[in-house]
Amino acid sequence: MRQFSKLEQRLLNEFQQGMPLTPNPYADIARQLGVYETTVLETLSRLQTEGVISRVGAVFRPNRVGASTLAAMTVPESEVEAVAAIINDFDEVNHNYEREHEFNLWFVVVAEDEDRLQAVLAEIEAACGYAVMDLPLEDEFFIDLGFDLKWT
């Protein structure tokens, strides 16, 4: 298993939420950590390249900026990884995960508007060869998705 440096541990644990809303957020993070801004940026880039993190950026409440939906597919187990890789290639997909259910591959799509959202869902369906079930938000619940990572 990969060992994370103290800087990586702090970046992954302390900045899941509360990103500084300033003109230079990475410089502000660097000051808090006692390192250079370039060190923060290089570390985050490396973690992303390694697949430890998928993205760094703001998360907006659903449908406040643009349009978003939860989507699901039924994919044969032998093809889940390949289909997930196709889905992940779409810039509009912000996360994707497997579940133990008839609909076993779930993902969130965010686009600039409803027309683009529907176009992306159709493109994903065509690229993967499996029907996409669109599950638009009906009731909103706030779920804190921060995780207190335990380092051993």
Section 114-141 average pLDDT = 91
pTM of the model: 0.62
Whether pLDDT at 144 is above 70: no
Section 10-37 average pLDDT = 91
Of the pLDDT bands very low, low, confident and very high (cuts 50, 70, 90), residue 31 is very high
| Judgement on whether residues 124 and 75 belong to the same structural domain of the protein | yes
| Judgement on whether residues 75 and 122 belong to the same structural domain of the protein | yes
Specify if 19 maps to a domain: yes
Residue 136, pLDDT score: 84
Rg of the chain over CA atoms, in angstroms? Answer: 18
Distance separating alpha carbons of residues 120 and 93, to the nearest angstrom:
9
Domain of 105 in residue numbering reads as 67-135
Under 8 Å between Cβ of 40 and 26: yes
Residue 19, pLDDT score: 82
Assign residue 46 a region (left: φ > 0; alpha: ψ between -120 and 50; beta: otherwise).
alpha
